Amino acid sequence: MYLPYRRATQFLVFGLMFVVPVLNIFEIYVITGTFYAINFGGLGVADPSVILQAIFAAGEITVPLMTAAIFPLLVAILLGRFWCGWLCPYLFVSEGIDWLRNKLCLILFRRPPKSSATIEKAFSANLTRFSFLICGTALAGAVGIPVLNYINAPAIMSAEAMMIVKERAVSLEFWFVVILLVLQLSFLPKIWCRVLCPTGSIISLFRTSVTMKVISKSRPQTTPCCKERSCLSACPMGLAPYREAGNLLCVNCGKCIDSCRFNRLQFTGFQIDDAAPVIPRQQSDS
Amino acid sequence: MSSGILDFFKRIFVNRQNPIINDYRVNRLRPPGAVDEVRFMALCIRCNRCMEVCPYNSIRRAGFSATIGTPYVIAETKACYLCMACCRLCPTGALDRNLKEPPKVKMGKAKIEPSICYSHLFLEHDVIPTESLQKIGALCNTCYNVCPLQDRAIALKDNLYPVILDGCVGCGICVERCPTRPGRAINVIPAGMGRVDEAGFYFQKAKSNYDISQSRETSPQKPLSGEGLLEQKYRIDSGGQEPKFDFPYEKPRIKGDWD
């Protein structure tokens, strides 16, 4: 079961967004910074997409820029999109919004929502977010300002948390996040994480053979192996894990693994041997 | 003609001298150690770590403009006290990490407005500006007294009224404390605002002000110490030495009689 641990870390990160500025006010500087760039007692970590933009905007690669991006990329190589699935405050809120959307749809229209993701095909979603990242970085290089920072939702959330604690005010970007969440609630579900997020895009590019990912043992992979399609409804990124396990969109949250009653979805490195035998769909249905 | 247009576009798009990036305003400064404005806008990733560590709450987050989220010191509300805590933790080098000595900071340069400054008004135009000053009968010189780099950044000319020297780092404490309202008699012009190669569109506007501030500069004085300082202080209260007064009238040579 991964869900309780994941919720615990997500709660912790969400709470720390507000606690860290309070500690800073009392001059305890163990953790400083926002999700643009953060420092845990000396270990500097910066959002790789932000660093990429700074490199393009300034037109130079400096030592501080490189060192800031090393640690997150190391985590990305080992654990995949661990940041997105387990720490990112936006996905935490976004999951809540998706849950709310389902509930509201059931109450208002007496049926589950029609679409669970903005761009249905995972390939097109990947294509969109990578081209968004490339266009944004190119624009940053052309204009000389890291422009994607203006809309980096998780980082804005932490910066606004700091603003609320320190100055008891919110800036314009706060309303950007609110609008994004409202859009997500109404008619563009999972718009940020699935279609736009530059941080997620750049993290998912660092996938190697050692990177932890979900593998599917369902055969044949073209059709779901159980009627309820539990993994499909569980996935917070709108993937169909029985055939798209280990897609670049996957955030390693482990929800599909929890939901699969045949244990056919597993993390690489955490494989269980007593997985139910791989059975064709017709037999499992009968 | 065409080369003029080319230069214009080159200036805006290649050298990035446009109002979006070079958004200068008087008394609104970058934190100490900031690199020049074009590079700062490229390198600053708006992580707000400088804001979080500032023990005086001097650094504020910029509001709605192209610079949204980047740090500023608004000198009128809260100036920079040059503790240099922010420089060493900038993750991208938008603030110079190796800068530790406050005199080497280049945030801007203060400029005194003689038409408002109490001391200048009193001494140059013989006007006592407010009733309160009339009562206490003192010269203001607050800017000189609060300056952290006294006699290097600001000095009292003829020991009477303040002038800005080359050592001014633009921390803005004088602006924060200046008693004149609504406008301050001393203002800090941010670094880059007065320079042709950095200021861009704002240059023409800033040029006249900058020229005035340049012409008011005198050569940097060494900070007084020891006997020199003592001598200066004696001169102020005229306790030790005879002050030299220019007496504009001719002394009558012959004592006249009563009749």
Which pLDDT score is estimated for B139? 74
Are both A227 and A194 inside the same structural domain?
no
Mean pLDDT of A25-30: 88
Take residue B151 and report the two structure tokens written for it.
């006699």
Residues of B in contact with A44 (CB under 8 A): 91
Are both A62 and A90 inside the same structural domain?
yes
Which pLDDT score is estimated for B198? 46
Q: Please, what is the average pLDDT of chain B?
A: 77
Q: Among A263-267, B74-78, B119-123, B182-186, which is the least confidently predicted range?
A: B119-123
Which pLDDT score is estimated for B259? 57
Tokens 């958004």 belong to B23
Which pLDDT score is estimated for B222? 58
Cβ separation A46–B21 shorter than 8 A = no
Position A100 pLDDT exceeds 90: yes
Are both A135 and A236 inside the same structural domain?
no
Cβ separation A65–B69 shorter than 8 A = no
> Which tens digit of pLDDT belongs to each residue from B56-66?
889 999 888 88
Residues of B in CB contact (< 8 Å) with A are 16, 20-21, 38-39, 41-49, 51-53, 55, 57, 60-61, 63-64, 66, 68-69, 89-93, 97
Tell me which of A32 and B21 has the higher pLDDT: A32
Pick the last residue of a domain from A173, A206, A239.
A206
Mean pLDDT of A74-96: 92
Take residue A25 and report the two structure tokens written for it.
């006010």
Which pLDDT score is estimated for A94? 93
- Which of A20, A34, A143 comes nearest B47 by C-beta? A34
Position B153 pLDDT exceeds 50: yes
Cβ separation B63–A171 shorter than 8 A = yes
Which pLDDT score is estimated for A75? 92
Cβ separation A68–B91 shorter than 8 A = yes
Tell me which of B17 and B156 has the higher pLDDT: B156
Are both A56 and A9 inside the same structural domain?
yes
Cβ separation B45–A47 shorter than 8 A = yes
Amino acid letter, B18: N
Chain A contact probe: residue of B9, B36, B46, B88 with most A CBs at under 10 A: B46
> Reduced to 3 DSSP states, what percent helix, strand and coil does chain A have, rounded to the nearest 5?
60, 5, 35
> Which tens digit of pLDDT belongs to each residue from A148-200?
999 999 999 999 999 999 888 888 889 999 999 999 998 888 899 999 999 99
Which pLDDT score is estimated for B242? 57
Mean pLDDT of B143-172: 87
Mean pLDDT of A227-240: 85
Pick the last residue of a domain from A183, A206, A229.
A206
Q: Please, what is the average pLDDT of chain A?
A: 87
Q: With bands split at pLDDT 50, 70 and 90, how would you rate the model's confidence at B231?
A: low
Q: With bands split at pLDDT 50, 70 and 90, how would you rate the model's confidence at A284?
A: very low
Element (H, E) at B157: strand B154-157
Which pLDDT score is estimated for B247? 61
Winning range, highest mean pLDDT, from A95-109, B144-158, B215-229: A95-109
How distant, in Å, are the alpha carbons of A25, A121, B61, B218 from that of B108? 28, 54, 19, 17
The DSSP letter of residue A220 is: S
| Residue range of the domain that includes A281 | 212-286
Residues of B in contact with A58 (CB under 8 A): 39, 42-43
> Which tens digit of pLDDT belongs to each residue from A40-59?
888 888 999 999 999 999 88
Are both A47 and A183 inside the same structural domain?
yes
Are both A41 and A183 inside the same structural domain?
yes
Residue B18: burial class (beta carbons within 10 Å; 0-12, 13-18, 19+): middle
Number of domains in chain A: 2
Q: Which of B29, B46, B10 is nearest to B193 (CA)?
A: B29
Residues of A in CB contact (< 8 Å) with B are 20-21, 24, 27, 29, 32-34, 36-39, 44, 46-47, 50-51, 53-54, 57-59, 62, 64-65, 68, 143-146, 149-150, 155, 159, 162-163, 166-167, 171-173
Are both A57 and A159 inside the same structural domain?
yes
Q: How far apart are CA A180 and CA A185, in angstroms?
A: 9
Q: With bands split at pLDDT 50, 70 and 90, how would you rate the model's confidence at B200?
A: very low
Position B90 pLDDT exceeds 60: yes
Q: How far is A121 from chain B (nearest CA, A)?
A: 33
Mean pLDDT of A226-237: 84
Are both A200 and A171 inside the same structural domain?
yes
Tell me which of B225 and A257 has the higher pLDDT: A257
Beta-bridged to residue B71, according to DSSP, are: B61
Are both A221 and A158 inside the same structural domain?
no
Buried b / exposed e across B154-180, counting CB within 10 Å, b at 16+?
bbbeeeebbbbbebbbbbbbbbbebeb
Are both A110 and A218 inside the same structural domain?
no
Cβ separation B42–A173 shorter than 8 A = no
Are both A153 and A54 inside the same structural domain?
yes
* % residues pLDDT > 70 (chain B): 68
Tell me which of B239 and A73 has the higher pLDDT: A73
Winning range, highest mean pLDDT, from A148-157, A208-217, B215-224: A148-157
> Which tens digit of pLDDT belongs to each residue from A62-77?
888 888 889 999 999 9
Q: With bands split at pLDDT 50, 70 and 90, how would you rate the model's confidence at A215?
A: confident
Residues of B in contact with A159 (CB under 8 A): 46-48, 61, 69
Q: How far is B49 from chain A (nearest CA, A)?
A: 4
Q: With bands split at pLDDT 50, 70 and 90, how would you rate the model's confidence at A286?
A: very low
Are both A224 and A199 inside the same structural domain?
no
Which pLDDT score is estimated for A124? 92
Which pLDDT score is estimated for A218? 78
Q: With bands split at pLDDT 50, 70 and 90, how would you rate the model's confidence at B141?
A: confident
Residues of A in contact with B53 (CB under 8 A): 24, 29, 32
Tokens 């305890």 belong to A28
> CATH code at A259?
3.30.70
In this structure, what are the phi and psi dihedrals at residue A250, rounded to the nearest 5 degrees? Answer: -60, 135
Q: With bands split at pLDDT 50, 70 and 90, how would you rate the model's confidence at A14?
A: very high
Q: Residue A80: which residues within 8 A CB-CB, separation 6 or more? A: A203, A204, A207, A211, A212, A213, A250, A251, A252
Pick the last residue of a domain from A156, A181, A206.
A206
Q: With bands split at pLDDT 50, 70 and 90, how would you rate the model's confidence at B212?
A: low
Residues of A in contact with B69 (CB under 8 A): 149-150, 159, 171, 173
Which pLDDT score is estimated for B219? 45
